[in-house]
């Protein structure tokens, strides 16, 4: 059974620049999660998506992350320093929407942008909130322009 400490270590390794080591740690942690460990699975899928070289694989992980998020209570991500699960949703919608955009699935990308914007009220007035709001605005513009480039 995967612990939150193992999840955090895998994420830290990945964010520290060791993509191969982080990817291996994330996959090991994923394999050790229980199907009901929605918080861990949401976080792991979110980061695993970022390591994929193929957009279809990336989108599959982003879809998993959002599906796991649907089962979370508001304090289920407190172990990883996320004050509310609701505040994580805009980022999940942003990532999935961008994947859909790059696949040419513009109506689905638009739906994710709208869902992210609707959920953005849960973001704080901090750097993270500004980053995600800015990402949603840029994604909206790219979707509206029909921009499919990476």
User: Which residues make Cβ contacts (< 8 Å) with residue 107, sequence separation at least 6?
Assistant: none
Q: What is the pLDDT of residues 36-65, one digit of tens each?
A: 999 999 999 999 999 999 999 999 999 999
Q: What is the location of CATH 1.25.40 in the chain?
A: 1-73
Q: Give the predicted TM-score (pTM) of the model.
A: 0.94
Q: Alpha-carbon distance 85 to 99, whole Å?
A: 22
Please state at what angle helix 38-51 crosses helix 19-32, rounded to 10 degrees.
150
**Residue 140, token pair as written in the block:** 């909206």
CATH architecture of the domain with range 1-73: Alpha Horseshoe (1.25)
pLDDT 10s digits, 95-134? 999 999 999 999 999 999 999 999 999 999 999 999 999 9
């Amino acid at each position: 059974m995967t612990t939150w400490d193992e999840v955090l270590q895998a994420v830290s390794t990945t964010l520290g620049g060791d993509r191969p080591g982080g990817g291996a740690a994330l996959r090991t942690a994923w394999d050790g999660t229980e199907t009901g460990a929605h918080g861990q699975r949401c976080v792991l899928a979110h980061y695993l998506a970022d390591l994929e070289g193929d957009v279809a694989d990336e989108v599959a992980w982003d879809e998993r992350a959002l599906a796991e998020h649907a089962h979370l209570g508001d304090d289920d991500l407190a172990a990883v320093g996320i004050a509310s699960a609701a505040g994580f949703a805009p980022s999940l919608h942003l990532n999935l929407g961008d994947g859909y955009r790059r696949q040419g699935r513009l109506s689905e990308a638009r739906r994710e942008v709208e869902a992210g914007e609707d959920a953005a009220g849960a973001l704080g007035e901090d750097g993270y909130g500004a980053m995600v709001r800015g990402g949603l605005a840029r994604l909206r513009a790219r979707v509206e322009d029909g921009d499919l480039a990476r």
